[in-house]
Amino acid sequence: VRRLEVRLSAVGPDRSYSIVIDAAPGAEERLAAEVAPRAAGGLGLLTDETVARLHGPRVEQALRARGLDPARVTVPDGEGSKSLRTVETVAEALAQRGLDRRAALLALGGGVVGDLGGFVASVFLRGVTVIQAPTTLLAQVDASVGGKTGVNLPSGKNLVGTFHQPALVYADVTALATLSPRDLASGLAEVVKHGAIASAELFELLERRAEAARAGDPELLEELVERSCAIKAAVVAADERETGAGGRERLNFGHTVGHALETASLAAAPLRHGEAVALGMLAAARVGARLGLGDATLEARLAPLLGRLGLPVDLDAHLSPAVLARVGVDKKRAGGRVSFVLVDRIGSSLVTPLAPAELEQILLAGKNRC
């Protein structure tokens, strides 16, 4: 069991918190011991159907053993649950169970449950504690840390949201054993992202051990979670609210085009978040090379790695004017330009303003050449 600290040093009360990475059997009991003192006003337990089935019983049992009687709310799996409609359902269920302002909400699940739970906790009774218990690799390496919460609108992803830092992040790495290969790969995409923007060492570790990562080697996954959380915690501590100067924007590497691809895919053949990010990183590599600001060899190194990890690499097949038109509605848009993240060499990144039209021109030109 290892503990990392996210140090938030803004004015006001100290909101720093721990990330616990627990790879030993019986993690649910240690989680319950951490939850109990934080849930004086009752406990909500938010999860989705798959997680409820696979991991709900052992977690609930451990919570009961600590004298807690959680109000469980189970939402359907998938991105569709990140909606304002679901926010009302969850909040109403918590209200019916009489939770008060000293209550906590335990978000047990992937990034969908984490983003939804964080958002509900930030607005329910004007804000209650949220504890993140991520169960997907993606949520353990990325979504559960940093306090970004939100739900989607028909116009795009995460267009309604808040910053609401968790009181604790508890990552039970053993829970990843039940993850589907597709969801495991999706999480690995965000690990690649962390390596590409901030750690050549992490990127090279993935290059050396891609097959073991894809197969879900438990010790390797533990190391990837730890390294990723350390990177994300440091970036978030330096720039909690993504004001630009502190560098949090760099975590959006691959996400400008990635979000557009993800939203466009929802109607027909939904891409996993990490799959869309994998394609988005390839797009960003191409844009960086063309602008002369990014590492010119990045796409050639990124594509084989993503492929070995089980992620899509057929960028051109996914790009279309309709997809790229969505880039303009991304919420990070400012003054008609988007803040575009480039990797200048592996392990180092920068942000540059880019007009959506320029982005479209570069990416669709690449497509026509092929």
Ligand X SMILES: NC(=O)c1ccc[n+]([C@@H]2O[C@H](COP(=O)([O-])OP(=O)(O)OC[C@H]3O[C@@H](n4cnc5c(N)ncnc54)[C@H](O)[C@@H]3O)[C@@H](O)[C@H]2O)c1
| Binding positions for ligand X, rule: CB under 6 A | 48, 50-51, 54, 77-79, 82, 109-113, 115, 135-136, 138-139, 142-143, 146, 148, 157-158, 175-176, 178-179, 183, 186, 272-273
Are 284 and 253 within 8 A, CB to CB? yes
Which residue number, 47 or 199, has a Cβ lying nearer to ligand X? 47
Long-range CB pairs of 239-244 (<8 Å, 24+ gap) are: 240/8, 240/10, 240/147, 240/163, 240/165, 241/163, 244/339, 244/351
CB of 323 to ligand X, least distance (A): 17
Residue 103, phi-psi category: left (phi > 0), alpha (psi -120 to 50), beta (remainder): beta
3-state secondary structure of 196: helix
| Rounded Cα distance, 320 and 162, in Å | 31
Active site residues: 126, 148, 190, 232, 242, 248, 252, 255, 259, 273
CB of 245 to ligand X, least distance (A): 19
CB of 97 to ligand X, least distance (A): 23
Strands (E), 56-179: 71-75, 104-109, 129-134, 148-153, 156-163, 168-172
> What residue type is 262 in one-letter code?
E
Q: Residue with CB nearest ligand X?
A: 111
Which residue number, 142 or 295, has a Cβ lying nearer to ligand X? 142
CB of 252 to ligand X, least distance (A): 10
Which residue number, 278 or 289, has a Cβ lying nearer to ligand X? 278
CB of 142 to ligand X, least distance (A): 4
Which residue number, 21 or 176, has a Cβ lying nearer to ligand X? 176
CB of 158 to ligand X, least distance (A): 6
Long-range CB pairs of 90-98 (<8 Å, 24+ gap) are: 90/44, 90/46, 90/116, 90/117, 90/120, 91/120, 91/123, 91/124, 93/44, 94/44, 94/120, 94/124, 95/124, 96/71, 97/42, 97/44, 97/71, 98/42
Which residue number, 163 or 290, has a Cβ lying nearer to ligand X? 163
Which residue number, 42 or 152, has a Cβ lying nearer to ligand X? 152
